[in-house]
Structure 1
Amino acid sequence: MLGRMDEHRGDRRRRPFRFGVVGESVRSADALLSTARRAEELGYATLTLRDHFVAEPFGDQLAPMVALAAAAGATRTLRLGTMVASNDFRHPVMLAKEAATLDHLSGGRFELGMGAGWLRSEYERAGMAFDAAGTRVGRLEESLRILRSLLAGEKADFAGEHYRVDGLTVFPAPARRPPILVGAGSARMLGIGGRLADTVGILPRALPDGTISDEISERLPETIARKVDLVREAAGDRDVELSMLVSPTFGADPRAAAAKVAVLRGWGASSMELVLDMPSQFVGPPEHIAEQMAARRDRYGFGYYLVSDADMERFAPVVALLGA
């Protein structure tokens, strides 16, 4: 599997690194602006915000599109993105209008991250139908096709199972289509990301009960390699960026740090060796983590890593070591 993946990817593995911050603990205007400015100072490429209207499991969140517009006015080079917008919360035409406006106001710095929606309790508490995964994913695929057309400045004509658009354009027309990221963990989602996104964020799979899998198998090298293969096969000749949200664990001894992760995640201390080789786990001092990231870019192709704002300061030395 790894051999086929490497052959298919070719020289795309050497895409330059970039790093992002997920503003998970941002609860106020002051916190938003200070986090955005500090991320820019530290050399991060992006500030992203989640899209939830319940506190669990990440804490209360600001509305991403409005908050990102404010962050754009406080920064000059920092890119702004959603990580990720739930497709079911907005009609794609409305989302295209908001994305085009935010891209215009930020001087072309917006990146649209999209997902199918996964948190059942959120849907239920909002009185929204939590449809079967196949239906939600089907809606996302149609939405992405509409968004790609509108945000490219084209006249959109689309008639699908879930959406219909008849000769619509969006204002303001972006100078270039904002990059689109799709967060994906299942085979179908990975294929959609490979075909329609500029960046695919590799995730553990979402479960039918409306949670994200915590199975250790979802994080092992062979699983990640298989998911990368699915993206690459769907992408064909398109050069799709690979991304992952990670929680680094710092410490002088990588093995001790890995054992800590294994225990805290409930996998048991005996899983320490597995943690050391997990593509989503980075443990040890900054220099060791930088080496791990370089090796995993060569092995899998990951070039865009995001960390929580809680890790932004501690992770900054890694950004300095690997940033362009």
Structure 2
Amino acid sequence: MTAPLLFGIRIPVGRTGRPQLSPSVHRDAAVAQARRLTALADILGLDYVFSGGDAGLSSETTLALLGAARRLTVVAPISVAAWHPALLARFGAVAARLSGGRFAIDLRSGPHPDDHRAEEFARIVRGLWTGGRVDVDGEHFRARGLRPSVRPDVAPEIVVSGGWRAAASLAARTGDWYLHPGAGPDEVPAQVAALDGEAAGTGREVGFAVSVAATLEEPDAVAARLVKYGRSGAGLVVLDLADPEVDLPVFAREVVPRVRELERARTLVAVR
């Protein structure tokens, strides 16, 4: 039986769907709003919150969002150019332990011809999170006999996001999810097949996620489109809402129940 579609929401810190908040002057207000939206998403039953802002993780912001929720996973944007993997691994292990495993990272590198930097970064981080000795002699990062000082009970998930050519391959080798920025439902089966093929070569399974800009004027149409994503092979839809404070309750109360009803109907047909 196909697993129910998971839902996440992207919350850009400093953007409200209304006039832009200046990160330097109004950062506290932006983070406070992000906390409110995270708490709301948690209460309404979403599975992930993707913390926005630039790709350099703010540890204070991430901890603030983790503290605002009790169930969902907070996914923090990580630039491999902004962090050393050992430092990120330590922070992530602490965040995961404090939150009961609700911390994940969105690994971003950029549209480079190759992503050796990101792959080396992920190998070190994952090795430290899984508790073994790490030996990486890379072009960008080196770790000789490195061992974790803090170990998470469960290794945080690694999301690899991006539409450049190397992103899916990088996710197949190092990620738990590949997040495509806007593939249509009809494009998903080919994307999933390619991802599964590459991941199988390394004995791994990687979920396919897609970012979707959603307008909620017609909940039935939105629900049907989201279910089509699930039927096409996506396991997670990350919503970009124009005004999350207004749109998120509408999505949870009007769209999600329709999605679950359509999923149940399909399951019953399959069983028969």
* TM-score in same-fold range (> 0.5): yes
Question: 1:100, 1:171 within 8 Å by CA — same for their partners in 2?
Answer: no
Residue in structure 2 matched with residue 234 of structure 1 by the alignment? 198
Counterpart Cα distance in 2 of 1:76 and 1:220: 32
Residue in structure 2 matched with residue 275 of structure 1 by the alignment? none
SS at match of 1:298: helix
Provide Cα deviations, 1:11-52, integer angstroms capped at 9, x if missing partner.
Answer: 7xx232111121113652421221111111111112221251
Measured after TM superposition, the shift of residue 109 of structure 1 is: 0.7
Provide Cα deviations, 1:73-130, integer angstroms capped at 9, x if missing partner.
Answer: 2321121112x32211111111111111111121211111101136xxxxxxxxxxxx
Counterpart Cα distance in 2 of 1:186 and 1:298: 24
SS at match of 2:8: strand
Residue in structure 1 matched with residue 20 of structure 2 by the alignment? none
Counterpart Cα distance in 1 of 2:169 and 2:110: 17
- 1:109 counterpart = 2:111: no
Question: 1:19, 1:304 within 8 Å by CA — same for their partners in 2?
Answer: yes
Counterpart of 1:47, as a letter, is V
Mind listing any 5+ residue stretches in structure 1 that lack a counterpart?
A: 1-10, 54-61, 119-132, 205-218, 252-284
Measured after TM superposition, the shift of residue 240 of structure 1 is: 1.7
Q: TM-score, normalised by structure 1?
A: 0.67
Change (3 A) 1:296 1:95: same
Question: 1:43, 1:319 within 8 Å by CA — same for their partners in 2?
Answer: no
Counterpart Cα distance in 1 of 2:205 and 2:57: 31
Measured after TM superposition, the shift of residue 164 of structure 1 is: 0.4
SS at match of 2:235: strand
Question: 1:142, 1:163 within 8 Å by CA — same for their partners in 2?
Answer: yes
Mind listing any 5+ residue stretches in structure 2 that lack a counterpart?
A: 17-26, 264-272
Measured after TM superposition, the shift of residue 165 of structure 1 is: 0.4
Measured after TM superposition, the shift of residue 220 of structure 1 is: 5.7
Measured after TM superposition, the shift of residue 155 of structure 1 is: 1.5
- 1:78 counterpart = 2:72: yes
Question: 2:177, 2:208 within 8 Å by CA — same for their partners in 1?
Answer: yes
Larger RCO (alpha carbons 8 Å, 6+ apart):
1
SS at match of 1:89: coil
Q: TM-score, normalised by structure 2?
A: 0.79
Question: 2:188, 2:229 within 8 Å by CA — same for their partners in 1?
Answer: no
Counterpart Cα distance in 2 of 1:18 and 1:80: 14
Residue in structure 2 matched with residue 318 of structure 1 by the alignment? 255
Residue in structure 2 matched with residue 98 of structure 1 by the alignment? 91
CA RMSD after TM alignment: 2.4
Q: Sequence identity of aligned pairs in percent? A: 26
Residue in structure 2 matched with residue 134 of structure 1 by the alignment? 113
Aligned residues, how many? Answer: 240
Counterpart of 2:94, as a letter, is T
SS at match of 1:111: strand
Q: Quick one: which of 223, 230, 234 aligns to 1:297?
A: 230
Structure 1 range deviating more: 106-115 or 225-234: 225-234
Question: 1:184, 1:193 within 8 Å by CA — same for their partners in 2?
Answer: no
Residue in structure 1 matched with residue 121 of structure 2 by the alignment? 143
Q: Which residues of 2 match residues 157-306 of structure 1 at below 5 A? A: 157-203=135-181, 219=183, 224-236=188-200, 238-251=204-217, 285-299=218-232, 301-306=233-238
Counterpart of 2:198, as a letter, is A
